[in-house]
Amino acid sequence: MRRRRLTDVRRFLETAEAASPVEAVEQVARELGLAYGAAAVSFLITDLSGRALVRLAHVPLATAQGGGPAPVQGERRCDEESAAVLPFDGGREEQAVRTQTVQVAPPDRPDEGSAGQDADVQDMWRVLAPVTERGESIGVLEMFLPGEPDAETVDEIAQVAHLLAFVVIANRRHTDLFEWGQRSRAFNLSAEIQQRLLPGARTCEASAFTLAGWLEPAASIGGDTFDYSLERDSLHLSLTDAMGHGVNAALTASVCLGGLRGARRRGASLLEQATEANSALSEHAVRRAGDDFVTGLIGRVELQTGTVEIVNAGHVPPYLLRDGVLTQLDLNADLPFGMFPDATYDTTRLTLEPGDRVVFVTDGMLERHLAGVDLPGAIRDTAGLHPREVVRALADSALAAAGHALQDDATVLVLDWHGQHEETRDAVSGADQSRASDPVTS
């Protein structure tokens, strides 16, 4: 069995390398389907909205133009590429992502998510396996099998779905196909710049912590960013909010984040990172003859001890949820980055305890037009959810309160502290299922 699995892995990887980056995932998925006798296989990529999956498919122009199947509801096409949106509705797709478990649907209970599939799969068993890497939901592998899969087969499919995550990560660097598929709404220039500033993975699970970030953009981009980077024994994180809106705010955010990242990558201390960002923004403001500044929080977590250093550059203090009690951290407050070139910064130190949750937000979550949002109450109500679901739930509350027309970016970064840095993470197919959220209930 072990030798067969190693042979299968080798074949899948050889298939991925032999195909072009545009076709690699599709070809590997086809190989997976053949290995399990599947009648149909699809890769459903996570939509950038975080509220849907997208079925990517290749539709040859000769078929599309020659009386072939017309686009189904929610489907977009570009040349020979098809992207069909499957909104989360509490069904099996959402359950697979939320619980990070394989979902198996018998043929006598067809899911709405199978709409758009050929009629010859209607009598098939539908299997949905999370495609995940370190807690980051990349998508779902969908298979239609002629018979009910046994427990061993379900376990194997979960493992190959994890393998598919690495194929997606490796190949999306070389093509816009996956990015196009994920974009169910158009991006303007400032949004394009802002997206490039965000980390490649919005979620990270490690033995000592779980981290997830989410940015809900305003119609006119407000210049929010978040970032993180993991070292051997420490975690760096930041949440920043640039003054203004549109392209200017996006450019100001670029300068700030470039200063922070450049200093961090040179091994600079937290205070040196703050000074570097302030200097970069101050020089940028002089060249533009403007008043570009950025509020923000930058932090460094010692993974061995749970000790946190935080610089507060004129920003909203984060929330700490500990043993069911929510407080706002009392931090030393310094000037925003970029206001004065000779500004100095200080840190506040605190020690996290296992079970702690720290929630960082930008002021877009606290605007007057969001007065209907009880942010402290929402943080308490989502205490049992994985940070991946928490950040989206908090952003959803802001969107609903604003009538889906935010006046400023609403950004959330959630850090769960587990305090087990010396231990190995208990991961199954890319996720620690003990940390996953419970299923959606009707």
pLDDT exceeds 80 at position 112:
no
Predicted pLDDT of residue 64: 46
Residue 300 three-state SS: strand
In the chain, how long is the greatest CA-to-CA distance? 70
Predicted pLDDT of residue 289: 56
Predicted pLDDT of residue 3: 43
Q: Are 158 and 124 contacting, i.e. CB atoms less than 8 angstroms apart? A: no
Q: Which of 151, 58, 77, 148 is nearest to 109 (CA)?
A: 148
List 58's β-bridge partners, or say none.
Answer: 81
Specify the CATH number for 2-182; select among 3.90.1150.10, 3.30.450.40, 1.10.3210.10, 3.40.50.300: 3.30.450.40
pLDDT tens per residue across span 366-402? 876 666 788 999 999 999 999 999 999 999 998 888 8
Mean residue pLDDT of the chain comes to 89
Can you give the length of the chain in residues? 442
Highest mean pLDDT among 25-39, 337-351, 392-406: 337-351
Predicted pLDDT of residue 218: 84
- Bigger pLDDT: 122 or 234? 234
- Which two tokens mark 221? 């981009």
Sequential DSSP letters for 173-230: GG-SHHHHHH-SS---HHHHHHHHHS-S-SEEE-SSEEEEEEEE--SS---EEEEEEE
Neighbours of 164 (CB within 10 A): 26
Q: Give me the mean pLDDT over the 114-124 stretch.
A: 67
- Bigger pLDDT: 4 or 384? 384
pLDDT exceeds 60 at position 117:
no
pLDDT exceeds 70 at position 95:
yes
Q: Are 134 and 430 contacting, i.e. CB atoms less than 8 angstroms apart? A: yes
State phi, psi for 32 to the nearest 5 degrees: -65, -40
Highest mean pLDDT among 6-10, 45-49, 68-72, 298-302: 298-302
Domain with CATH 3.60.40.10 in the chain: 189-435
Distance CA 233, CA 431 (A): 21
Predicted pLDDT of residue 442: 60
- Distance between start and end Cα atoms, the chain: 41
Q: How much of the chain exceeds pLDDT 70, in percent? A: 90
Evaluate if pTM is beyond 0.85: yes
pLDDT tens per residue across span 44-94? 999 998 999 999 887 776 544 555 556 666 688 888 888 999 999 999 999
Q: How far is CA 90 from CA 51, 74, 315, in A?
A: 11, 18, 36
Q: Give me the mean pLDDT over the 307-335 stretch.
A: 97
- Bigger pLDDT: 343 or 425? 343
Q: Give me the mean pLDDT over the 216-231 stretch.
A: 90
Highest mean pLDDT among 2-11, 22-31, 251-260, 364-373: 251-260
CATH architecture of 189-435: 4-Layer Sandwich (3.60)
Q: How much of the chain exceeds pLDDT 90, in percent? A: 67
pLDDT exceeds 80 at position 318:
yes
Residue 388 three-state SS: helix
Q: Are 409 and 239 contacting, i.e. CB atoms less than 8 angstroms apart? A: no
Q: How far is CA 200 from CA 137, 233, 354, 420, in A?
A: 12, 21, 27, 25
Predicted pLDDT of residue 71: 60
- Bigger pLDDT: 242 or 10? 242
Confidence tier at 136 by pLDDT (50, 70, 90): very high
Q: Give me the mean pLDDT over the 36-46 stretch.
A: 93
Distance CA 379, CA 391 (A): 9
Predicted pLDDT of residue 423: 77
Domain with CATH 3.30.450.40 in the chain: 2-182
